[in-house]
């Protein structure tokens, strides 16, 4: 602050003091405001849990819990004897998830091993971002791809495959989670220190032996965590299954049949015209809470694994 002729030192001190007091107010207010913003994230979770629970309670006032867990049929649209057995939707979801994992785990892990152990730096720098492109493609695009490319392709191999089946969306969900498994596993393997690789190589092991006997065991926690996260992703995936999976909830483990997943059911109801207040309307919350619990437990398991079993070098 320059000392001009018209300002005495006293004035400057006064000005400084008044500035300081507004500053002090700001300093006190800001943490409070920011804290409230941070609370929004908790409120979101609370909101999710509460809305799911309250609406599910309304649902269970109309439909018995026993039926929900034991009935093998999910026919909410039958007016007279509607049946709400979540198993039918869960089995569809699990079928998709199993197919997806069968596709994604070997390919994703192999790609991760190649990138981390075999590829040159240059190759890795090119391939990794391309894999990330795969991860950034909207799921609706994957759904379209499943419906218009993968299903017809599979139909040439399996002639009596229906247009809507579990196999095609399962495979495509698998393709969708490959980049996630590959990149998380690659991170885990790259963080294994080089000295361990060099030690094994110096003993005369081949690269493959180093990978199998040193790198994979050392990086196992990160790799398993990536699988669990992949499963959680596959369970929560929506658009691929609602486009290509069909809308026939049934308890089946035949991948060539048309099925319905939990997510696809929610989409079907909310994009159709189940009116507010009907039992069908409340049923999406019961399905939603089941889905939420499944993915929450898996995410917690993944966090636990990567924290508990992490090897520190």
Partner 1 sequence: MKMIDRQLVTKKMSGRLALNQTFKGIFIAATVLTLIILAILLYRIFTQGSSHFSLEFFQNYASRRPEQSGIKAAVVGSLWVMAVTIPIALILSVGTAIYLEEYAKKSKLTSFIQTNISNLAGVPSIVFGLLGLTVFVRFFDLGRSILAGGLTMALLVLPVIVVASQEAIRAVPKQLREASYGMGATKWQTILRVVLPAAIPGIVTGSILAFSRAIGETAPLLVVGAFAFVNYLPQSVMDSFTVMPIQIYNWAGRPQVEFQAVAAAGIIVLFIFLIVMNSVAVFIRNKFQKRY
Q: How far is the CB of 130 from partner 1 (least distance, A)?
A: 6
Supply angle C-alpha 145, 151, 154, rounded to 5. 130
Sole binder of partner 1 in the list 8, 45, 64, 278 (CB under 8 A): 45
Q: Cβ closer to partner 1: 95 or 147?
A: 147
174 conformational bin, left if phi > 0, alpha if psi -120 to 50, beta if neither: alpha
Sole binder of partner 1 in the list 62, 148, 278, 311 (CB under 8 A): 148
Stretch that binds partner 1, among 1-9, 71-79, 143-151, 249-257 (CB under 8 A): 143-151
Neighbours of 254 (CB within 10 A): 11
Neighbours of 92 (CB within 10 A): 29
Residues 184-203 that bind partner 1 (CB under 8 A): none
Residues 70-99 that bind partner 1 (CB under 8 A): none
Q: What span, in angstroms and rounded, lies between the C-alpha atoms of 290 and 89?
A: 10
Q: How far is the CB of 5 from partner 1 (least distance, A)?
A: 26
Sole binder of partner 1 in the list 58, 155, 191, 238 (CB under 8 A): 238
Instruction: From 279, 245, 287, select the one nearest 78 (Cα to Cα).
Output: 279
Residues 197-236 that bind partner 1 (CB under 8 A): 204, 206-209, 229, 232, 235-236
Token output for 27: 């300093």
Sole binder of partner 1 in the list 138, 157, 194, 195 (CB under 8 A): 138
Query: Per rule CB under 8 A, is residue 110 in the interface with partner 1?
Result: yes
Q: How many residues bind partner 1 (CB under 8 A)?
A: 83
Query: Per rule CB under 8 A, is residue 147 in the interface with partner 1?
Result: yes
Q: Cβ closer to partner 1: 31 or 159?
A: 31
Residues 46-65 that bind partner 1 (CB under 8 A): 47-48, 51-52, 55
Stretch that binds partner 1, among 60-68, 84-92, 195-203, 291-299 (CB under 8 A): 291-299
Q: How far is the CB of 181 from partner 1 (least distance, A)?
A: 11
Sole binder of partner 1 in the list 7, 23, 61, 70 (CB under 8 A): 23
Query: Per rule CB under 8 A, is residue 155 in the interface with partner 1?
Result: no
Residues 241-260 that bind partner 1 (CB under 8 A): 243
Query: Per rule CB under 8 A, is residue 149 in the interface with partner 1?
Result: yes
């Amino acid at each position: 602050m320059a000392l001009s002729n018209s300002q005495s030192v006293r004035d400057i001190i006064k000005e400084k003091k008044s500035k300081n007091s507004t500053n002090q107010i700001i300093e006190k207010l800001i943490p409070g405001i920011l804290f409230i913003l941070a609370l929004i994230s908790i409120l979101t979770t609370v909101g999710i849990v509460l809305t799911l629970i309250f609406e599910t309670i309304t649902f269970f006032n109309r439909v018995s819990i026993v039926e929900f867990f034991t009935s093998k049929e999910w026919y909410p649209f039958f007016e007279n004897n509607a049946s709400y057995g979540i198993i039918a939707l869960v089995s569809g979801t699990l079928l998709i998830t199993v197919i997806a994992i069968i596709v994604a785990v070997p390919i994703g892990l192999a790609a991760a091993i190649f990138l981390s152990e075999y590829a040159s730096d240059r190759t890795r720098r090119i391939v990794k971002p391309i894999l990330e492109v795969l991860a950034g493609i909207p799921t609706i695009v994957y759904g379209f791809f499943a419906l218009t490319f993968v299903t017809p392709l599979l139909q040439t191999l399996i002639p009596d495959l229906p247009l809507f089946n579990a196999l095609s969306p399962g495979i495509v969900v698998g393709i969708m989670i490959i980049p996630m498994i590959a990149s998380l596993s690659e991170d885990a393997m790259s963080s294994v220190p080089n000295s361990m690789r060099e030690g094994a190589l110096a003993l005369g092991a081949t690269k493959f032996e180093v990978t199998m006997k040193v790198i994979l065991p050392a990086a196992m926690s990160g790799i398993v965590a990536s699988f669990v996260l992949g499963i959680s992703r596959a369970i929560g995936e929506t658009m691929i299954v609602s486009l290509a999976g069909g809308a026939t909830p049934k308890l089946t483990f035949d991948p060539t049949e048309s099925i319905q997943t939990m997510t696809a059911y929610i989409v079907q109801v909310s994009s159709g015209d189940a009116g507010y207040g009907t039992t069908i309307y409340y049923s999406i919350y019961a399905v939603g809470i089941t889905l939420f619990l499944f993915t929450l437990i898996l995410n917690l398991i993944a966090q636990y694994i990567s924290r508990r079993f992490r090897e520190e070098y």
